């Protein structure tokens, strides 16, 4: 029997638990979870990493990451991370948040953690809806986008405009690195990994606050197939949320 070739691309990184995730088919969370773990492994920081999981679809992240994790009250993730990082500056602390956690209830926390220049990494998964609770509008829901709470589509006059968090935070001096990426294609996933690595490196090098916004598919609550969701990101989503580095040092 032909000996199995040696170079296997380990699909499950060391820092990731070998567990099947609860995420829907085609949801981007599974990819972003893996990228975080690949970066943690490559930077050799697994035994120094402390994660703060959000409330939202990723609330179960502690079932998938194989390093220290705590879970914050909805939106308070950056505040919890601040407490941890200030007490343990030599540990690598990151938050992983959805658009409800970060851009709605947690807006004050993220703005002030950024403005204090907390030396933490923030992974912000923007899929434009509230997934865990059944597809309601999120602050990042696009104009005209139908959700459980914008049945005839988001009406800008009534529900206001989709919020651009990275561009908002860019003006804060304490913020050192901001990049928006996506996971809708393999090339984009590789680029997302580079960005996430850069953000963790920013923290490892003690430079200050960094955040990566990841555009991510939510087929279930976009009412699309995963492949259609990819096209949606390629199209209207990345039009409104341009992919690229927003701030660097």
Do residues 117 and 173 lie in contact, with contact meaning Cβ atoms separated by under 8 Å?
yes
Pairwise CA distance, residues 90 & 113, whole Å? 18
Report the residue number, 9 or 151, with the smaller CB distance to another protein: 9
The least CB distance from residue 77 to another protein, in Å, is 8
22 vs 153, beta carbon nearer another protein: 22
> C-beta of 154: minimal distance to another protein in Å?
26
Query: What is the rounded distance in angstroms from the CA atom of residue 125 to the CA atom of residue 120?
Result: 16
Residues 6+ apart with CB under 8 A from 54: 71, 72, 74, 77, 95, 96, 97, 98, 101, 102
What is the nearest approach in angstroms of another protein to the Cβ of residue 205? 18
The H or E element spanning position 42 is helix 29-42
Residues of this chain that interact with another protein (CB under 8 A) are 4-5, 7-12, 16, 20-21, 23-31, 34, 46-50, 52-53, 59-60, 62, 65-73, 76, 79-88, 91-92, 108-109, 111-112, 116, 183, 185-186, 189-190, 219, 225-227, 230
CB of 242 to another protein, least distance (A): 22
**Least CB distance from residue 127 to another protein, whole Å?**
12
Q: HSE (CB half, 13 Å, CA atoms) of 43? A: 25
Q: What's the min distance (Å) between Cβ of 153 and another protein?
A: 26
What distance in Å separates the CA atoms of residue 4 and residue 7, rounded to the nearest whole number?
9
| Unique residue bearing structure tokens 């829907």 | 24
C-beta neighbour count of 145 within 10 angstroms: 21
Q: Whose Cβ is closer to another protein: residue 71's or residue 159's?
A: 71
- In the bound state with another protein, the residue whose beta carbon lies nearer, of 116 and 146, is 116
Nearer to another protein, 104 or 154 (CB): 104
Distance CA 161, CA 164 (A): 9
In the complex, minimum distance from the CB of residue 209 to another protein, in angstroms, rounded to a whole number: 14
Q: Return d(Cα 234, Cα 237) in angstroms, integer.
A: 7
Whichever of 35 and 178 has its CB closer to another protein, that residue is 35
Sequence-distant (6+) residues with CB within 8 A of 221 are 129, 130, 131, 134, 135, 147, 148
């Amino acid at each position: 029997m032909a000996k199995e070739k040696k170079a296997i691309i380990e699909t499950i990184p060391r820092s990731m638990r070998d567990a099947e995730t609860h995420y829907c088919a085609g949801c981007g969370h599974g990819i972003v979870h893996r990228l975080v773990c690949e970066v943690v492994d490559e930077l050799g920081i697994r035994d120094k990493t402390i994660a703060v999981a959000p409330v939202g679809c990723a609330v179960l992240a502690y079932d998938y990451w194989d390093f220290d994790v705590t879970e914050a009250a909805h939106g308070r993730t950056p505040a919890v991370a601040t407490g941890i990082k200030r007490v343990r500056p030599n540990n690598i602390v990151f938050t992983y948040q959805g658009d409800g956690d970060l851009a709605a209830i947690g807006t004050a926390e993220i703005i002030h953690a950024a403005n204090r220049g907390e030396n933490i990494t923030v992974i912000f998964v923007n899929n434009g809806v509230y997934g865990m609770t059944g597809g309601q509008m999120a602050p990042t829901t696009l104009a005209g986008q139908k959700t459980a709470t914008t049945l005839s589509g988001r009406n800008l006059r009534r529900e206001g405009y989709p919020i651009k968090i990275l561009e908002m935070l860019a003006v804060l001096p304490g913020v050192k690195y901001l990049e928006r990426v996506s996971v809708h294609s393999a090339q984009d996933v590789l680029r997302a990994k580079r960005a996430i690595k850069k953000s963790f490196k920013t923290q490892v090098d003690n430079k200050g606050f960094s955040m990566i916004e990841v555009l991510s598919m939510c087929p279930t609550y976009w009412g699309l197939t995963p492949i259609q969701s990819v096209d949606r990101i390629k199209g209207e989503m990345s039009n409104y949320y341009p992919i690229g580095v927003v701030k660097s040092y």
